[in-house]
Amino acid sequence: MAWVNLVTLCALLEYFAFGWLVGRARVKYGVRAPATSGHEIFDRYFRVQQNTLEVLIIFVPSLWIAAQYWNPVWMAAIGAVFLVGRLLYLRGYVSDPSARHIGFLLSAVPMVVLLGAGVIGAVRALFA
């Protein structure tokens, strides 16, 4: 489970870094708190952070539940793909929102796989 712990911590650190980037963009583009929009590039950073928050609620529990039923190293590897996907999503979305698709897919597919693995594992355990 150490790999699962590490991937979970990396996901949280990545989210923290995205928040830091939002703060930096807030200063750079003059978007004063509590405003959540005001400059197109700031808005993009903010949307990446918010979207990442929205998917973390699916990713983290799915990773942990799937790792209870399947090889934790493999589940952590799938989780690592999610982390790379989030970085690509950030790069794509900030440069041009229409360029976010690869990052989105590399984030969404691991979430679906982990969610499915957790459901299958739990159902199998019920009937074992």
pLDDT per position as a tens digit, 16-59: 999 999 999 999 999 999 999 999 999 999 999 999 999 999 99
Q: 83: which 2 tokens?
A: 């982390």
pLDDT above 90 (res 80):
yes
Return the CATH number at 61. 1.20.120.550
pLDDT above 90 (res 64):
yes
Query: Quick one: pLDDT at residue 19?
Result: 98
Interhelix angle 2-28/72-95, rounded to 10 degrees, is 10
Cβ atoms 58, 82 nearer than 8 A: no
Binned at pLDDT 50, 70 and 90, residue 119 comes out as: very high
User: By three-state DSSP, how is residue 38 classified?
Assistant: coil
| % of the chain residues with pLDDT over 70 | 100
pLDDT above 90 (res 128):
no
If one counts the domains in the chain, the total is 1
Q: List the domain range (segments joined by +) for residue 94.
A: 2-126
Long-range Cβ contact pairs of 39-46 (< 8 A, separation 24 or more): 41/94, 44/93, 44/94, 44/97, 45/18, 45/21, 45/94, 46/22
The whole-number average pLDDT for the span 113-117 is 98
Residue 82 identity (one-letter amino acid): F
